[in-house]
A and B are shown apart, each in its own frame.
Chain A
């Protein structure tokens, strides 16, 4: 599948990544992305068999850019406690 690299797509990606770029950067990026996509297009010659994306998939939904409501975040979290997301400690207090 050859994606169309246009202003709309660049805008969508910026929304997803929460990055703002100016018109000049957007133009350069559009060109760069088109070249990079053409380059990585060589991968399409390969059958994607044998590799399965992890459960819950790394793929992001592009139809809901910037949706960071509490309900959505809680819904996406594997461990919750009431209205909070439960996260295991990663650093000991005496470290």
Chain B
């Protein structure tokens, strides 16, 4: 598969047509049905244009992004038959940039999971090793890019759903600053943490996708004015000279597989060799941040998903009372993980516990933002692992606590609203490992620059197909 930047250039020059490129992409997708990277049912395709930043580039969208008139399931039985009444702003923006849409990528039900095993469409497989998970919740997006089906996939992240699957699949995943991109038309999981973002085969393609999705949206009040953010333009330049990089030593714990720590240290050394000043730094609140994340995310999920009752969305049964109807529809529609998180969130917001748990989680979030702010006064960017280990085998995460721990290094950026990127930095036991770079709000261009610097020095192999 050719990179998006090259494909778009060739289409703009008239060397290829969007129809040819889309047809090839659909053939590749059909040939790799075994991955289950795309949701089944009605196809979602749109032929792109021969002009624009991403002219004719085949792109998929996650199953939680709306497209007017098209089915949107969020990987859930609860949204069976639901058709979107409007198009997500980011989807409108990438269509305006010329992309061809190839379909909807598989995901954990309502984004709740780290393995893409909780989808009602069945699990997505990791193209590096089919018996392993691709990560989640944007697992279909990461697997499709890793397998070379599309150069770019649009996903979303609430606690690591772009970086973690990108790490497990050996591709690039960027979680933008909260408010950089419009959330209008993204089905909400935890609104104060949710962001849309790209997964791509290269840093350059990730940058192109981000730029194509950008644009002020008066219909999203959580979006930051573009004047408050560092602008992004042109190709990504590499370079780390004189930049100050903090290597978070608390994240290089004994709980990680030793290969992870070695590869992250190696990446930091490569940045140093490129002219950066790298030194260890400390962020001792990692564990508590994960706890805070699970309280805030589940609390918001229990509230956001209260609307899924079978009346306005999804299939409905019959019952003698309205209350019983809600119970039946919700009980039959939601899968086990979603029910678990809704009940956990309900607990966190219950009178008597809201103060003890929810309010303290907010305090921890504020404290983390303060600590990270202090670190960003000393450093331009931070380096840490994306995950403690490589992709586990399918079915290995039966314990929700274990699954939670795989998010320990990614929830930070969501809680603090800062941008972070995961890029592949090596292999461990034949599976990809990601290194994560994090910067202060609005500093995506700095992250992309550092990521490009590493990408050029690491020469990470593409997934063998």
Q: What residues make up the interface of A, taking CB atoms closer than 8 Å to B?
A: 1, 3, 9-10, 12-14, 16-21, 25, 29, 32-33, 35-37, 39-51, 53, 57-63, 66, 68, 91, 95
A20 closest partner in B (C-beta)? B331
Asked if B356 is an interface residue, CB under 8 A from chain A, the answer is yes
Q: How far is the CA of A9 from the CA of B347 in the complex (A)?
A: 9
Contact B291 A39 (CB under 8 A): yes
Contact B292 A14 (CB under 8 A): no
Contact A35 B401 (CB under 8 A): yes
Contact A48 B355 (CB under 8 A): yes
17 contacts between A and B (CB under 8 A): A3-B352, A9-B347, A14-B343, A19-B334, A40-B348, A41-B291, A42-B287, A43-B291, A43-B364, A46-B364, A48-B359, A49-B363, A50-B363, A51-B366, A57-B354, A59-B355, A61-B351
Chain B interface main SS type: helix
Contact B340 A29 (CB under 8 A): yes
Contact B288 A46 (CB under 8 A): yes
| CB-defined contacts of A48 to chain B, threshold 8 Å | 355, 359-360, 363
Starting from the known contacts A17-B306, A40-B357, A43-B288, 10 additional A-B residue pairs (CB-CB under 8 Å) come to A20-B331, A29-B343, A39-B291, A40-B291, A40-B361, A46-B363, A53-B354, A59-B351, A60-B350, A91-B86
Contact A18 B343 (CB under 8 A): no
Q: How far is the CA of A36 from the CA of B346 in the complex (A)?
A: 13
The 8 closest A-B pairs by CB, nearest first: A59-B354, A43-B360, A20-B331, A40-B291, A18-B326, A17-B346, A59-B351, A51-B362
Which chain B residues in 315-336 approach chain A with CB under 8 Å? Answer: 322-323, 326-328, 330-331, 334, 336
| CB-defined contacts of B358 to chain A, threshold 8 Å | 53, 58-59
Contact of A17 among B290, B342, B354 (CB under 8 A): B342
Q: How far is the CA of A92 from the CA of B328 in the complex (A)?
A: 32
Asked if B299 is an interface residue, CB under 8 A from chain A, the answer is yes
| CB-defined contacts of B288 to chain A, threshold 8 Å | 42-43, 45-46
Interface string of B137-161 (1 = CB under 8 A from A): 0000000000000000000000000
Asked if B339 is an interface residue, CB under 8 A from chain A, the answer is yes
Asked if B131 is an interface residue, CB under 8 A from chain A, the answer is no
Contact A68 B322 (CB under 8 A): yes
Asked if B248 is an interface residue, CB under 8 A from chain A, the answer is no
| CB-defined contacts of B303 to chain A, threshold 8 Å | 58
Asked if B344 is an interface residue, CB under 8 A from chain A, the answer is yes
Contact of A62 among B86, B350, B363 (CB under 8 A): B350
Known contacts A13-B346, A68-B322, A91-B85; A25 and B336 CB within 8 A of each other:
yes
Q: How far is the CA of A75 from the CA of B354 in the complex (A)?
A: 22
Contact B355 A40 (CB under 8 A): no
